[in-house]
Chain A
Amino acid sequence: MALLAVENVYKSFQGFLALAGVSLEVAEGSFHALVGPNGAGKTTLFNVITGRFPPDRGSVIFQGKPITGWPTHRVARLGLAISFQRAQPFASMKVREAVTLARLGYAGATFHLLRPLGAFTEALDAAREALAKVGLEDQADRRVSELPLGDLKRLDVAMALVAKPKLLLLDEPLAGLSRAERRRMVGFIRELLRREGVTLLFTEHDTEAVLELADRITVLHQGRVLVEGNPEEIRHDVQVRAAFLGGTA
C-alpha cells in the first residue's frame, strides 16, 4: 500500500485550472520527485496535500486514511511535514525556540500557558537533535532574522524533521541556494533521509539534482500527470523533452 495516494484531484482558481485530475502514489521509503515547468501545479498539489486548501474534487489518502479537506495542523500532526519553498521560519524567535515550538506543535502540546518553553526538556532535546542533523547546532542561540538564506532553508527543514515525519514534503529545497549550498543540501537529503527512513516527496527545478536523488519521478504539465517513471525512463521520454522544450506533447 502506498504511504500517500492522491486520487483524481482537481483544483481551480478563478477559472484557472491548476490541477486537472492528478493521481499519484508515493511508496513508503521512496524518494519521489514532482517535476514540471512553472505553473504545472506542483505547489498547488502540495497545498492540497497539506490541507492549505481543499481540492474541488478528488481525494488525498495518507496511510490508508482519507485526509481530504483536513485542516493543515491536523495533517501535520499525522506525521506529514513540509518545508516551504520560501523559507520564512518564525522571524521573532531564536533558532532553538522555533524548532522547539515546532516539536510541541506536532505533539499538539502548545496549550501550556504557565510553564516556560525552556522547561520542556523532551522538546528541547528533540530540537537540538534536529538542528544537529541539518548542521545548525552551533546556531541554536541566534535570532532567526539574522540567518542567511541557506541557513533559513536548513532551519525550515529542521522544523519539519523534528516531527520525526513519516512523509516529508520539500518544495524546491535548492531554490535560491548557491552552488556549494546545493551540493551540501543534496548530500544532506540523500544521506540523512535514507538513514532516517523518511519517505520524501519533493519538487525541484534542478534536473541534475532530481536525477541524482529521486527513485521515482512524476512529471506534471498544465495540471496533469504527463508521465511517471524511474529516472532512467524519464530521461529518455520524448513527451518530457517536448514539454520542457516548450512544445506540445
Chain B
Amino acid sequence: MVSKFYIGLLVSLLFTVIISAQEKSLDTVKIEQLKEIIIVNRKSLNNKNQVKPLASIDEYLEKSNKITMIKRGNYAWEPAINNMVSDRISVTIDGMQIFGACTDKMDPITSYVDISNLSEVHVKSGQQGAENGSTIGGGIDLKLQKGNFNDEALYVGFDTGFETNGNARIGSSELNFSNSKFFVNADAIYRKSDNYTAGGDVEIKYSQYEKYNVSTIAGLKINKNGAIIGSVIFDNATNIGYPALTMDVSSAKALITSVSYLQKNSNSRVTEWETKFYMNTITHVMDDTKRPDVPIHMDMPGWSDTYGFYSKIKLAKTRHSLLFNANAYYNKALAEMTMYPSDPNENEMFMLTWPDVRTLYSGIYGEDDFSLNKNSNLKMTARIGFQDETIADDFGLNSLQIFYPNLNDNQQRFLINLSTQYQFQRDRFQFSGSVGYGERAPSVTEAYGFYLFNSFDNYDYIGNPYLNNEKSLEFNAAVNYTSKKIKMGIEASYFYISDYIIGKLNPDYDRMTIGADGVKVYTALDYATIFTTNLTAEYSISNAIKLDGMLGYSLGEDNDKENLPLISPLNYKLMLRYKKAFLDAELGMSGADKQYNYSSSYGEDKTNAYTVFNANASYAFYKGKNKIFVKAGMDNIFDRYYSTFADWKNIPRMGRNTFINISYVIK
C-alpha cells in the first residue's frame, strides 16, 4: 500500500513539473550533470587521475567520493555506492549486463575487466543510475576504450610497474589504430602479486593473485553515419587468495563479447542510435585446497552466462534531449558445492547452491533532459521492467522445496524506477535536487541461495523466493560553489527503503557449515534508511599548488533503529598537490573516525580510527611525439597497521608500499 502511494505521489509530481515547465522560455544551455566520471584512459597520462597509471580498476574506483570498496583480500574488491553493495546497485560494462558467478561475492563485475579495457567509469547515484538496469543505490557503467573515426592515429604503448609490498609486478601493452574508416584497439595486461604485508611487517597469508586480461575492439564504418563495432574481452585470474574468507579461488574466467551497430549524426534529430547484442560467460572456481586447517575440504564452482541486447537512441529536440533504451537479457546462474568427507570411503556431499536460475529481463528506459531556461533544467527518467525467473534444475527445485514445500519453479516480477531531478545554476552557484523511486528484484542469492556461508557474521544463508521487491524512495540535494580560487560542494542523499532485504536468524534451522552459528533466511525488514553526505573543497593556494579535501559521513538504520552493516563512519581525505610543467607531486592523507555505528548482529565491531599518509610524484619526458611517463610514490608511509569498516572480518590493509610505474607511448 505504501509503495502504491509513493508511485502515485511521484507520477503526480512528474506531471506538475512537466506542465509548469512548458511555460518557461526557450533557451538551451547544457548544464553539467551531477554524475561522476572517473577517467581511466591512459591517453592523457597525467596526475589528474590521482592514481598511478597501472592501478587496478578497484584503486581507481576507490578514489571516487561516491564509492567505497569492500575488501576480502587484495583482489576483486566489491564496489558500494551510497553504502549499498552488489545486489542493490547496477554494474554494467558499456551497457551490457553481466553477473558474477560466485555465491560469496568474490567476483564483482569490476574484477573481470582491467584498466587496459576502459576509458571511463560513469558513477551515478541512486535512481540516476537506472539507465541500464533496475537499481536502488546507483549505477556504475564501465566504458570500454574504443577509437573513433575522427582522427588518424597509430600508437603503441607499454607500461610496466613494480610495487614493493607483495612484490607486485604489472606489465601491459596496447596498440591503437584508427583512420576515417576503421579503428582497432588491442591490449593485454598482466598482474601478479605475492602475499602483501600489513603495517608492522605482518604477512597476510592467502592474499596473492595472478591475472591477465586481453581485449580487442574494432570498428568499421559502413556508411556515412553508421559503423559496426565488435569487442572481445578475455579475463583470466588464477590462484587468488581471499585472506578474509575460508576459501580461495583457483580460477576466475570471463569471456565478454559484443557486436553493435552505431549510428551518429549530430545534424539529425536522432543524434545517436546504438543497437548492441552481447554475450558473456563466467566460470568461477572456489576451493580451499591450499588451506591446511579446514574442518572439511570443499569445491564451490559457479557459472553465470548472460545473453542480451539493448537499443539506445538519443534524440535532440529544441530544449529536450531525450534518451530511450530498450534492453533485454537472459541470465543463467548455477553454482554447486561438493564436500569431501575425511573418510575416503564415504560418498561426496553435493548440493546446488544456486539452482540454475534463468532470469529473463526486458525493460525500457526513457530520459528527458529538459532545459527550462538558461539557468535551470529538469531531468526525468523512468524505467519499467518485467522479470521472469525459472528454476531450471529439478535437483535445485527439490532442494529449495525442503524449505518451501509449495515452491513453484517460475515467478514473475514488475519493476519500476522513476526519478526527477532539478538543476539550477547561477553565477558561481549550482544547485541540484532530485527525488526518485526505485524497485529491484531479489538477487539469485537472496531468492534462491542454498546454505551459503557468510564468514562476515558466521551464518549460513538460505534464500527466500517469496520476497517482495525492494523499494526505495530517495531524496538528493547538492550545492556547489566555484570561483577562481575555491571550489566547494556539499551533497546529501537519503534513502527510505521499504521491504529492505536482509538475513534474519531462524533458530529452527540447523547450520550446514561446520563452525557456523546458525542459519539466517533472507527476509524483508519493514524499512531501512540510509543517509550519506559528503563535503568537498578545493583551494588553489597558487597556480602550482592546490589543496583538496573531502569529508564524508553516512548513517544506516533499520526499522528498530539498529545499525545496518557496512556503513561508513566519518571519513576524510586531504591532499596537497603541486604541478609545474611536466612535474606533478602530491602529498595525501586519508582516514576515518572510529566506527561508532556498527552492527554487531551482522558481525561488525567498532573499527578503530586511523589516518594514513601517502606521497607520489610523476614526470613526463617527451622525445618528439613519443612520451615516457614515470610515476613513483609511497602509500601508507608510516606503515600503519589498520583496517576500515569495509574490510571483511577486519582484514588489515596494506602496510608501507613503494611503487614505480613507467609508461612508454610511441606514436
**Is the pairing of A and B real?**
no
B residues within 8 Å of A by Cβ? none
